[in-house]
A = this chain, B = another copy of it.
Amino acid sequence: MKLLSPADQLFLWLEKRQQPMHVGGLQLFSFPEGAPDDYVAQLADQLQQQTAITAPFNQRLTSRLGQSYWTEDHQFDLEHHFRFEALPTPGRIRELLAFVSAEHSHLMDRERPLWEFHLIEGLQDRRFAVYTKVHHALVDGVSAMRMMKRMMSSDPDQRDMPPIWNLPARQHQEDRPRPSLMNNLSHLLGESGKQLGTVPTVARELLRTINEARRNPEYDSIFHAPRCILNQKVTGSRRFAAQSYNLSRIKDVGAAFGATVNDVVMAMCASALRSYLLSQNALPDKSLVAMVPVSLRKDDSTEGNQVGMILAGLGTHLSDAADRLRHIHLEVNEAKERYANMTSEEIINYTALTLAPAGFHLLTGMAPKWQTFNVVISNVPGPQEPCYWNGAKLEGMYPVSIAMDRMALNMTLTSYCDQIEFGLIGCRRTLPSLQRLLDYLEDGLTELEQAAGLQP
């Protein structure tokens, strides 16, 4: 039995029917050359034989004296976790996204290891998909992404590769999760020093932080996001939307404006959000504020990672796409410069301070007077070389993240070869037709290309 970390415990507390706390990934593969038509069914048969399970995929929750622990599931039932499924006719990406939307809305069974692996046949053009769902208390998003990557190979001829639930053990060092929003929160809560057993303790710590924040001279600048429909309570049903965008186009725009790829991606998000909120008659007068995890590494060390969260205005009040990109570029640089003069410890404290109110909302469901940010835009690094799974080429991979009360939309993206892969998850009742954001992202990129003279 292993005690849950406070951060992992937090994900269990936060979970309710309207707010499942699992993360996921959608991977799109093409059949290996010469594969038979029933290739996916054969693959399913092989996977059903893979009954050896390695940690953490054999770990279930158990509770003792009100404290949660991980323990091995001695009634492990692979059929519950590995699911072979199919898309209805005509098997377009649209049917795939509807499938993931429905599956991502369902709570998992807490009496079992908190993961599911869905192998999906019935996609057009000799393709198939894998949708993986893992509770955030078991694995964080970045670690999940890394596991999916370890499941694959850069060698198209490699075969007999184990599935994700039976990957060979490797050094703990490399599997260490990177700092993330929740890890920073748990740092604030003293994860390394002490274990935390109860909600009231967490709430008290957060409240103390908020009171400190009120005395902080930067207080005013921290809590300045406008009210927006993105920040309502969510319901229990999700819509997932995903699409690939060409990285070279994004790089060209960045070069033309002297901006980074990340700046351009954020400007695409800003355009998309502006168009969507206009279509809903819900665009705030003030600029939306995005919370963005950024790398803060100052040297070339690869040991560990330093990820800070910056809050950046998205310029959604500006009607000109080029103006928005310049606005974002300035906002991000300013936030980074603020960090540049701080020590690592100061950065983490500052980040935690900035995020504390968000954590407090999450935990208590209280409606506070201030909104720290409107939307999370998270950029997770992905593989730069083509990947293969038992000879099947990975064509695209899309993160499926978490929508929650007051954060009804999450925009997570990753890179793969020459693609930027967007995965948008949101509450489909709070944000009707949110799949339109995909087209608005494309429009946003096109507008920037036009402004840069890259398109007629």
Contacts and interface: CB of A to CB of B under 8 A. Distances in A.
A98 to B, nearest CB: 8
B109 A236 contact: yes
A44 to B, nearest CB: 7
A338 B2 CA distance: 57
A270 interface: no
A183 interface: no
B86 A122 contact: yes
Interface in A277-309: none
B121 A88 contact: yes
B40 A89 contact: yes
B80 A237 contact: yes
A433 to B, nearest CB: 10
B44 A88 contact: yes
Contacts of A105: 109
Chain A binding surface, main DSSP class: loop
A429 B111 contact: yes
A109 B239 CA distance: 13
A125 interface: no
Nearest to A432: B75
Contacts of A237: 80, 109, 111-112
A18 B61 CA distance: 14
A230 to B, nearest CB: 17
A208 interface: no
A135 interface: no
A88 B112 CA distance: 24
A428 interface: yes
Interface string A37-49: 0101100100000
Interface of A: 17-18, 38, 40-41, 44, 75, 77, 79-80, 83-90, 98, 102, 105-107, 109-112, 121-122, 235-237, 428-429, 432
26 contacts: A17-B107, A17-B109, A17-B110, A18-B109, A18-B111, A41-B88, A41-B90, A44-B88, A75-B432, A77-B428, A77-B429, A77-B432, A79-B98, A80-B428, A83-B98, A106-B106, A106-B107, A107-B107, A109-B235, A109-B237, A111-B235, A111-B236, A111-B429, A112-B235, A112-B237, A112-B429
Given A86-B87, A86-B89, A110-B236, 17 more contacts: A17-B17, A40-B88, A40-B89, A41-B88, A41-B89, A44-B88, A44-B89, A77-B429, A86-B88, A105-B109, A106-B106, A107-B107, A109-B235, A109-B236, A109-B237, A111-B237, A112-B237
